[in-house]
A and B are shown apart, each in its own frame.
Chain A
Amino acid sequence: MIALLHRDLMLAFRAGGGFGLGLAFFLIVTVLVPFSVGPQSELLSTIAPGVLWLGALLACLLSLDRLLALDYEDGTLDLLATAPLPLEAALSIKALSHWLTTGLPLVLAAPILGLMLNLEPDGYIWLIASLAFGTPALSVIGTFGAALTVGIKRGGLLMSLLVLPLYVPTLIFGAEAARQGAMGLDGTTPLILLAGITLGTIALMPFASAAVLRMTLR
């Protein structure tokens, strides 16, 4: 398992494109927002938590089709499916490496981008906490979407259509926690619900992902 994690991380770092791309996309989305809604700082600070959450979600989505597609093409997935390691575990590791290379940098970059969007000072801790609790769910659900569409040619757009509705609860609770925090309220309730969703998806989604991957590889 460690070896697989090591391999995926190495590939993401060295092959280029995978690691920095999500982050760059996040940056560009955030930079484009003031252009589209105007530079008034009050307006920006109201929408900042939502925009940052949406940007993080889209950045996660963008990097998903690389998650399994390359391994599917060169046959690595067939080997993983026949390996003694359960496919569920292998896919959990894949989701973890996706989170480490996409989700975690987003969490770390969010405060800096929050500064650019004039986020309220109270909001930073809530933004970081909600993203840190929420992005693992995005990776795990995304792995399911990637496994579902890996056998389909040009499945990228289809995967967005399938994955985005599944992201709704995570986005609602995550953005709600960040927004309530930014308004100076206590965002604990949505944050706990968000953590519940994340733990639930981490526990259950790998089984669904492995099931659909076996169906595709059969």
Chain B
Amino acid sequence: MSLWEYANPVKFLGLSARVQPFLWAAATICVVVGLIWGFFATPDDYRQGSTVKIIYLHVPAALMAINAWFMMLVASLIWLIRRHHVSALAAKAAAPVGITMTLIALVTGAIWGQPMWGTWWAWDPRLTSFLILFLFYLGYIALWEAVEDPDTAADLTSVLCLVGSVFAVLSRYAVKFWNQGLHQGTSVPMATGGRTVSDVFFYPLAISMVGFGLLFLALVLYRTGTEIRLRRARALLARRKREM
């Protein structure tokens, strides 16, 4: 029994159909609990007031925006090395979810930045990096749309994803070099060792982050299933056209 068995579309669809109800339920519970707890049951920050609560949307979305690209990178590598179609389709399915997460992070950040920093947008390294990430997503999705042959499209977008990852990391450091930022440091304890937000804010945030992760997983499984069925329907149509 190996992981690669699920490269078979039928097995993949079977497993994802069995797992999905639980995933959706868990994701809904986590997101709803995290957001309601965060929005209504936490105290206002003494300097930021109630605007701080947008963090429960902003941070999980930003986290998943980056992880979605990372997942696409892994899926692209699997496609290039082992040529499993499910993997290429999963990368394709993840891109729109990732770009939505990026957009949510950018928009919530702007809404929060207006009262706090006094500006909707600043050319801060983190903000700029996210905008660049958004452009990478846009290019990736546009390339999928533009190439007609599905296998060639999978190949080209996979290489773009690899090259894009290298350049996205490069851009991140270039942008840091270019401008010192307004944006506060990370609020996730794993990244810093010490915790920078107090427990009252942290627990709902953690639940919300887990919820967004599960939501991402559920959406990707669902969309991958759709892509597989779409591919199958196209193949059936093409076969019928040949027989006629």
User: A residues touching B (Cβ–Cβ < 8 Å)?
Assistant: 144, 148-149, 151-152, 155, 158, 161-162, 164-166, 168-169, 172-173, 176, 190, 193, 197, 205, 208, 211-212, 215-216, 218
Q: Assess the B135–A152 pair: CB atoms within 8 A.
A: no
Given the contacts A155-B146, A166-B163, A216 and B156 also touching, CB distance less than 8 Å: yes
Count chain B residues whose beta carbon lies closer than 8 angstroms to a beta carbon of A: 25
* Residues from 51 to 81 in B contacting A, C-beta threshold 8 Å: none
Q: Assess the B152–A161 pair: CB atoms within 8 A.
A: no
CA A10 to CA B201, docked complex, whole Å: 67
Question: Cβ of B174 < 8 Å from any Cβ of A?
Answer: yes
3 A-B pairs with the lowest CB-CB distances in the bound complex, closest first: A169-B174, A215-B155, A172-B174
Q: Assess the A161–B142 pair: CB atoms within 8 A.
A: yes
* Residues from 149 to 184 in B contacting A, C-beta threshold 8 Å: 152, 155-156, 159-160, 162-164, 167, 170-171, 173-175, 177-178
CA A218 to CA B155, docked complex, whole Å: 11
Q: Assess the A162–B143 pair: CB atoms within 8 A.
A: yes
Query: Min CB distance, B194 to chain A, in Å?
Result: 31
**7 more A-B residue pairs beyond the given contacts A208-B159, A218-B152, with a C-beta to C-beta distance below 8 A:** A158-B142, A162-B143, A165-B164, A166-B167, A168-B170, A215-B152, A215-B159
Given the contacts A172-B175, A172-B178, A215-B156, A166 and B164 also touching, CB distance less than 8 Å: yes
Query: Min CB distance, B159 to chain A, in Å?
Result: 5
Interfacial chain B residues near A164, Cβ < 8 Å? 135
The binding surface of chain B is classed by DSSP as helix
Question: Cβ of B219 < 8 Å from any Cβ of A?
Answer: no
Interfacial chain B residues near A176, Cβ < 8 Å? 177-178
Of A151, A158, A162, the most chain B CB neighbours within 10 A belong to A162
Q: Assess the A212–B155 pair: CB atoms within 8 A.
A: yes
CA A152 to CA B142, docked complex, whole Å: 12
Query: Min CB distance, A160 to chain B, in Å?
Result: 9
Q: Assess the A165–B132 pair: CB atoms within 8 A.
A: yes
Given the contacts A208-B159, A212-B155, A165 and B139 also touching, CB distance less than 8 Å: yes
User: B residues touching A (Cβ–Cβ < 8 Å)?
Assistant: 132, 135-136, 138-139, 142-143, 146-147, 152, 155-156, 159-160, 162-164, 167, 170-171, 173-175, 177-178
Interfacial chain A residues near B159, Cβ < 8 Å? 148, 208, 211-212, 215
CA A205 to CA B139, docked complex, whole Å: 18
Given the contacts A151-B147, A212-B156, A218-B152, A193 and B177 also touching, CB distance less than 8 Å: yes
Q: Assess the B132–A162 pair: CB atoms within 8 A.
A: no
Interfacial chain A residues near B170, Cβ < 8 Å? 168-169, 197
CA A79 to CA B147, docked complex, whole Å: 23
Q: Assess the B160–A168 pair: CB atoms within 8 A.
A: no
Interfacial chain A residues near B163, Cβ < 8 Å? 144, 166, 205, 208
Q: Assess the A190–B177 pair: CB atoms within 8 A.
A: yes
Given the contacts A151-B152, A208-B163, A215-B152, A158 and B143 also touching, CB distance less than 8 Å: yes
Nearest B residue (CB) for A171: B174
Query: Min CB distance, B72 to chain A, in Å?
Result: 15
CA A176 to CA B142, docked complex, whole Å: 31
> Could you pull out 25 A-B pairs where Cβ atoms are within 8 angstroms?
A148-B159, A148-B160, A149-B143, A155-B146, A158-B142, A161-B135, A161-B138, A165-B132, A165-B135, A165-B164, A165-B167, A166-B163, A166-B164, A166-B167, A168-B132, A168-B167, A168-B171, A168-B175, A172-B171, A172-B175, A176-B178, A193-B177, A212-B159, A215-B152, A218-B152
